Structure 1
Amino acid sequence: MDLISPFTGVAVDRFGCRIVAFSGGLTIIASVFSASLAQSLPVFIFLYGVGTGCGVGLMYSPAVIIIAKYFKRRHSVANGIVVSGAGFGILSLGPISHTIINLFGWRGYLRIYGAMVVCLTLLTLLYRPYDDFHKYNSQNDINSNVKSIEMLLDNERTTNEDFNNSSKESDELHSEKKTKKKLVDWTIWKSAPFIVYVGSIILVALGFSVPMIHLVRFARDLNISSSDASLLVTYEGIGAVLGRLSFGLFATIKSLKPTILYYVGVIMTGVPMFIAAQITTYAELSVYIVSYGYFLGAIVSLQAVVLRQLVGNDKLAQALGWSMGLMAPVVVIGGPIAGFLHDSTGSYKWGFYFGGISIIFAAIVMSFLPCALRYDAQKNSNHQVIVRIEEPAANNESGLALKSTNLTNEEDKLNEENTEL
């Protein structure tokens, strides 16, 4: 899912959230139904793993980006509600999937799952672009006053004709700039805050996958039954839902900045891993996994909110795509490293130490964000000074042009008076 995210960000900028999300739904449907007919394991892994993963990647980013288009003041709350759906999925789909597989087999389950995705794909058609909605309302307001506007235009027709010609030229220049816009916006990599954020999230991805992958095996090593160990995933889902909703709400408080809350989430995801390495009872492990899901939910919930503050709304799609795309290979190697440490030492505690250290380093990298913000602000201020130095020359030229036009108008008036005399 994450590996295709850079492509998804570019596609959203080019085609919009609705088309990309709808195509992702179609990809999931085709992959799931094809996988239900697979006769070999490699074919099944390719169809269900790769195909469904690509489809989910095409659907996730547009769902997050369309929220940023419509919500400004309550963006964090809306985003927290949207991403908490994954937590609800963890809580509900596990028991539902188990029941369906017992009744209809795994092939039947995949077909039923595909039918559910059909409903989800139809919902993506409701991703109405904000610009179209805004233009529609603006057009209604314009039509209500069109008669009065036409009367004013008739009184100053010659002046407006000149204005329309200049506006057409500016529109043509603006359209040429749009056509010349590159497919991939590389300018986000000139943003120091974005680079700091990407470095931090890569280290987070290296560490947070350890409990997710090795949780059940870690519980089994503590002589916990398989049924009780499987419930830990449900506890993690409960913590994730609460964390994503609550941190989205906390971010609306003026005294609590989203970047600070995100930093707290990173710290509180990494530090408890050192404590988890010493856990010996089921109760302690249950408390840890709920807190893990809760604070990891802060990272997931505030990811788009923080990126929007760092790069702006126009660059959010590709910034989110790049950050998630660079997370993908790191998530893949984090789990095997912890597994290797277990095989070498005979204990999972060293894997948890590894995960905790990587996330603590992510917090250290994130602490450089204020410096990066000051650097960008200083760079932008220097650029504005250069632009202001160039403005007087242009203003002088325009002033001379205005003076010349005024002189010609005065000469015309004098000529008219002479002819009347």
Structure 2
Amino acid sequence: MVRALERAEGPWAWVVLLASLVTQGLTLGFPTCVGIFFTLLQRDFQASNSETSWFPSILLAVLHAGGPLCSILVGRIGCRATVMMGGLLASLGMVASSFSRTLSQLYITAGLITGLGMCFGFQSSVTVLGYYFIRRRVLANALASMGVSLGITLWPLLSRYLLDDLGWRGTFLVFGGVFLHCCVCGAVLRPVATTVAPEPREGPPLPSETQVPGCLVACGRTVQRHLAFDILRHNARYRVVTLGMVWMIVGFPLPQIFLVPYAMQHGVEEQQAALLISIIGFSNIFLRPLAGLVAGWRTFAAHRMYLFSLAVLLNGLTNLLCTVSADFWLLVGYCLVYSVSMSCIGALIFQVLMDTVPMDRFSSALGLFTILESISILISPPIAGFLLDATNNNFSYVFYMSSFILISAALFMGGSFCALQRKERQGRQAEKEGAIMEAAPEQELFLEGTDGPGKRPCPEIMYVTTV
């Protein structure tokens, strides 16, 4: 344990940071290029918008829903083996998807298997940063999230380059080899990083009743250890953050999925449409570290939730620009403004979670958060696809929907956090006044005796004013 603490924020921590950066780029950056294949998959499988949109929704949902399973694996075999296992699964899913003959097979291979592999790689790389970095944790999270920006920049360009020569099947086959780089990144994570974290603390034991089988008690303790329901029940800050982010996620991924088909529908060439996503990613490379540095200042340490809510609000307002026009240069301006809010959200989302729970419970809190988040991700693209089918492919309604959800989520989180702070301030003030009253000595009134210098207690006098 002492050796592990000595290595925290040491030279090897920056190597781990680089491995986490690459892993996040390979995993979280990949779903942003799915929109490039949306039209091709829809045409090849003769599917509707809602049917095709299940592919990215399953991929993203499994990417986030596998959090509890990832938490168990990290506790059992460590971050190194979990990341390497994730790389193998993601590679296997993409290779198998290149041979898919039906859309249902694609759901299982590229959606379920690849999504689960990306989940193992991504969440383990986020968890390990919390153990290697203490004082510079905000900066480390922001720098690691640059990998997502690099992924958003390079995945669409690579997809567009391979798609012209290999088609989507050959491109998915090459992607299987690309995901094997997660195994290299996982090998960098020394097991000593996992020993920094204390042993998972079990919550209060469940009531042992004779009629309840022992296996159910063990299952209940396991769920409580890896899914932080106790924190959700007792920690108001975590509850506000979780509910607000879960609602936010319903609208957040929609522009990244439907921006490319929207631009192509209005006459923008395929190369230029793919470039729009790369512009967002390239801008995030510089904006995310800047957002992390600003959020790490002491001035903003107690106000990160407000910064996060402001970024979500700006993101929702920015999406309204797409409803004005589909001109290429206007969409370029939209991507630049969108990148500002997206970089703040990406740099702060995990730090805000870390600020609300103890670090030894972060893995289980992240697992519960991702389970709830996956529900939003699973239903978000199909709802948008159904909206497109019902409106004859009018993408403006998708961006209206995204704006409404993001703006309402921002107002909920900001307003709730302000109310919680006011309540906590009043509680501290009441406790302070109570402590002062308890510390005050009891006062006794004395009368000087008439027979000498001695004093005797003055009897209590009660005046009756009403009958």
Return the TM-score normalized by structure 2: 0.65
1:267, distance to aligned residue in structure 2 (A): 1.3
Name the structure 1 match of 2:136.
74
CA RMSD after TM alignment: 3.4
1:40, distance to aligned residue in structure 2 (A): 5.5
Structure 1 residue ranges without an equivalent (≥5): 136-172, 384-421
Alignment match of 2:231 (pick from 185, 188, 210): 188
8 A contact 2:280–2:338 mirrored in 1: yes
Q: Which deviates more from structure 2 when the two are superposed, residues 263-272 or residues 228-237?
A: 228-237
Q: Which deviates more from structure 2 when the two are superposed, residues 312-321 or residues 363-372?
A: 363-372
Matched positions, count: 345
Name the structure 2 match of 1:295.
341
Instruction: Supply the distance in 1 between the matched residues of 2:257 and 2:332 (Cα, whole angstroms).
Output: 16
Q: Which deviates more from structure 2 when the two are superposed, residues 227-236 or residues 193-202?
A: 227-236
1:130, distance to aligned residue in structure 2 (A): 4.9
Alignment match of 1:245 (pick from 289, 300, 307): 289
1:61, distance to aligned residue in structure 2 (A): 0.6
| CA deviation profile, 1:272-295 (whole Å, cap 9, x unmatched) | 223332235322221112221331
Please tell me whether residue 229 in structure 1 is matched to residue 277 in structure 2.
no
1:262, distance to aligned residue in structure 2 (A): 1.3
The residue type paired with residue 187 of structure 1 is D
Q: If each structure's helix is expressed as a fraction of its own residues, which one has the higher value?
A: 1
Name the structure 1 match of 2:113.
51
Alignment match of 2:91 (pick from 9, 29, 32): 29
User: Residue 102 and residue 217 in structure 1: after superposition, are their counterparts in 2 closer, same or farther (change >3 A)?
Assistant: closer
Q: Which deviates more from structure 2 when the two are superposed, residues 90-99 or residues 255-264?
A: 90-99
Name the structure 1 match of 2:351.
305
8 A contact 1:36–1:111 mirrored in 2: yes
Alignment match of 1:358 (pick from 399, 405, 411): 405
Q: Which deviates more from structure 2 when the two are superposed, residues 66-75 or residues 124-133?
A: 124-133
8 A contact 1:8–1:61 mirrored in 2: yes
Please tell me whether residue 6 in structure 1 is matched to residue 82 in structure 2.
no
Please tell me whether residue 317 in structure 1 is matched to residue 363 in structure 2.
yes
Specify the SS of the correspondent of 1:223.
coil
The residue type paired with residue 186 of structure 1 is F
8 A contact 1:193–1:373 mirrored in 2: no
Instruction: Supply the distance in 2 between the matched residues of 1:85 and 1:320 (Cα, whole angstroms).
Output: 20
1:67, distance to aligned residue in structure 2 (A): 0.7
Name the structure 2 match of 1:265.
311
Specify the SS of the correspondent of 1:279.
coil
Name the structure 2 match of 1:203.
247
Name the structure 1 match of 2:154.
92
Specify the SS of the correspondent of 1:262.
helix
Instruction: Supply the distance in 2 between the matched residues of 1:243 and 1:43 (Cα, whole angstroms).
Output: 38
Specify the SS of the correspondent of 1:73.
coil
Instruction: Supply the distance in 2 between the matched residues of 1:104 and 1:224 (Cα, whole angstroms).
Output: 22
Return the TM-score normalized by structure 1: 0.71
Instruction: Supply the distance in 2 between the matched residues of 1:67 and 1:132 (Cα, whole angstroms).
Output: 10
8 A contact 1:91–1:234 mirrored in 2: yes
Specify the SS of the correspondent of 2:267.
coil
| CA deviation profile, 1:143-194 (whole Å, cap 9, x unmatched) | xxxxxxxxxxxxxxxxxxxxxxxxxxxxxx99x99x9775434322121111
8 A contact 1:69–1:130 mirrored in 2: no
8 A contact 2:79–2:194 mirrored in 1: no
8 A contact 1:192–1:375 mirrored in 2: no
Structure 2 residue ranges without an equivalent (≥5): 1-62, 206-217, 432-467
User: Residue 63 and residue 222 in structure 1: after superposition, are their counterparts in 2 closer, same or farther (change >3 A)?
Assistant: same
Name the structure 2 match of 1:60.
122
The residue type paired with residue 209 of structure 1 is P
User: Which residues in structure 2 correspond to 1:62-141 (within 5 Å)?
Assistant: 62-100=124-162, 109-130=171-192
Instruction: Supply the distance in 2 between the matched residues of 1:67 and 1:105 (Cα, whole angstroms).
Output: 38
Instruction: Supply the distance in 2 between the matched residues of 1:66 and 1:96 (Cα, whole angstroms).
Output: 29
8 A contact 1:192–1:376 mirrored in 2: no
Specify the SS of the correspondent of 1:224.
coil
| CA deviation profile, 1:374-421 (whole Å, cap 9, x unmatched) | 6679999999xxxxxxxxxxxxxxxxxxxxxxxxxxxxxxxxxxxxxx
Structure of greater Rg = 1
Instruction: Supply the distance in 2 between the matched residues of 1:97 and 1:273 (Cα, whole angstroms).
Output: 25
Instruction: Supply the distance in 1 between the matched residues of 2:187 and 2:430 (Cα, whole angstroms).
Output: 44
User: Which residues in structure 2 correspond to 1:318-337 (within 5 Å)?
Assistant: 318-337=364-383
1:110, distance to aligned residue in structure 2 (A): 4.4
Q: Which deviates more from structure 2 when the two are superposed, residues 252-261 or residues 333-342?
A: 333-342
